Amino acid sequence: MLCLPLTAWAGRAILVYGDSLSAAYGLAQDAGWATLLQARLKQKGLDYTVVNASISGETTSGGMARIAEALSAHQPRVVIVALGANDGLRGLPLAQMRANLGKIVRASQKAKSRVLLVGMRLPPNYGDAYTRQFAQVYADLARENKTALAPFLLQGVADRRELFQADNLHPTAQAQAMILDNVWPALAPLLK
């Protein structure tokens, strides 16, 4: 008897592969943007199942360490890579972050998945050079790997304090639809 992952029976999978910003940290799980993505796919008649493999606190190093298992378990048609925020907040070397993200993207492509790389930005208190170079990593990797790019996950959210929980790091439930709207324009073409 052939044994397939549950997602294989459910249709085509979209793997959301991120950190707390994608894991709905501090929210009901059904309020996060990944769950809203599933609702949008259904509304548009697109036969995909969203698998949210995001982990709060995840770095690109942790993501790289578990990507092979996630790809094998879920066999996604599309992988949304939304990692790097924790690397930046910890001031980790950008060369290491870039290498890890590159390995995640290439492993996903090798597994025949289409990839959407989702960019992140850091607050200015990390210094102009580091924040500029941090944001540039995503654009460079997308170009080099010929993959789709959503430039900034928190576009239109990051500068609005009322859209953040008390920790001032994690968006509220009210911000989740805006986050999905930041991802959707780059994701939609990959679903055809």
Domain chopping of the chain, boundaries: 6-191
Looking at residue 178, its pLDDT comes to 98
Mean pLDDT across the stretch 164-186? 97
Looking at residue 29, its pLDDT comes to 85
Taking the C-alpha atoms of residue 46 and residue 28, their distance in angstroms, rounded to an integer, is: 25
Looking at residue 9, its pLDDT comes to 43
Among candidate residues 19, 20, 87, 113, the one labeled active-site is 20
Q: Is 74 a catalytic residue?
A: no
Looking at residue 11, its pLDDT comes to 56
Q: Which residue spans within 26-169 are E strands per DSSP?
A: 48-52, 78-82, 114-118, 148-150
Q: Is the pLDDT of residue 78 over 50?
A: yes
Mean pLDDT across the stretch 62-71? 98
Give me the chain's average pLDDT, please. 93
Q: Is 19 a catalytic residue?
A: no
Taking the C-alpha atoms of residue 96 and residue 82, their distance in angstroms, rounded to an integer, is: 16
Q: Is the pLDDT of residue 182 over 80?
A: yes
Q: How far is CA 158 from CA 17, 33, 85, 119, in A?
A: 20, 15, 13, 13
Q: Is the pLDDT of residue 7 over 50?
A: no
By C-alpha distance, which of 141, 190, 188 is closest to 43?
Answer: 188
- Domain 6-191: top CATH class: alpha beta
- Cβ distance 165 to 26 under 8 Å? yes
Looking at residue 4, its pLDDT comes to 41
Round the CA-based radius of gyration of the chain to a whole number and report it: 16
Among candidate residues 56, 61, 140, 170, the one labeled active-site is 170
- Residue in the structure block whose two tokens are 């991120």: 18
pLDDT in tens, 128-171: 999 999 999 999 999 999 999 999 999 999 999 999 999 999 99
Q: Which residues contact 35 (CB under 8 A, 6 or more apart)?
A: 24, 29, 50, 52
Looking at residue 126, its pLDDT comes to 84
Q: Is the pLDDT of residue 115 over 90?
A: yes
Note the pTM of the prediction, 2 decimals: 0.93
Looking at residue 123, its pLDDT comes to 85
* Residue 41, H or E segment: helix 33-43
Taking the C-alpha atoms of residue 41 and residue 74, their distance in angstroms, rounded to an integer, is: 18
Looking at residue 3, its pLDDT comes to 38
Q: Is 170 a catalytic residue?
A: yes
